[in-house]
Amino acid sequence: MRAIQGHVGGVPQKARSRRCATVSAYFAVWTTFALAALVNRWALMLVMFGVGVGSLVWLTVLTGVMVLEKTTRWGHTLTPYVGVALILLGLLVLGY
């Protein structure tokens, strides 16, 4: 919870108070942050779209894993294990 304090809609509080005298300025700052998130996470979005089209079960599983990684204290320790497991699963699917 500490990591998201001071943020509303992905916009840091200082940026909001410093640059957002009007509503249109607030949305301009918010869209800048949203665009940066889109550019930085395009591969993840592409994978989730492809998985979601193929199977809603796998989409749900991957969403749950990502939620655990982002919201729990031990999420950063879970990430390498999930990565190795997904690579092995991909190799298993390719070999099958």
- Predicted local confidence at residue 92, as pLDDT: 93
Both 91 and 52 in one domain: the answer is: yes
The reply to whether 31 and 46 lie within a common domain is: no
- Is residue 77 pLDDT above 50, yes or no? yes
Residues 48 and 10 in one domain: no
- Report the distance separating Cα 61 and Cα 55, nearest Å: 10
| Domain carrying residue 83 | 42-95
Tell me how many domains the chain contains. 2
**Cβ(33)–Cβ(46) below 8 Å:** no
- Model pTM above 0.75: no
Q: What is the pLDDT of residues 19-51, one digit of tens each?
A: 556 667 767 777 777 777 777 677 777 778 888
Determine how many CB atoms are found less than 10 A away from the CB of residue 69. Answer: 15
Do 30 and 49 fall within a single domain? no
Per DSSP, the three-state class of 7 is strand
Alpha-carbon gap, residue 43 to 91, rounded angstroms = 19
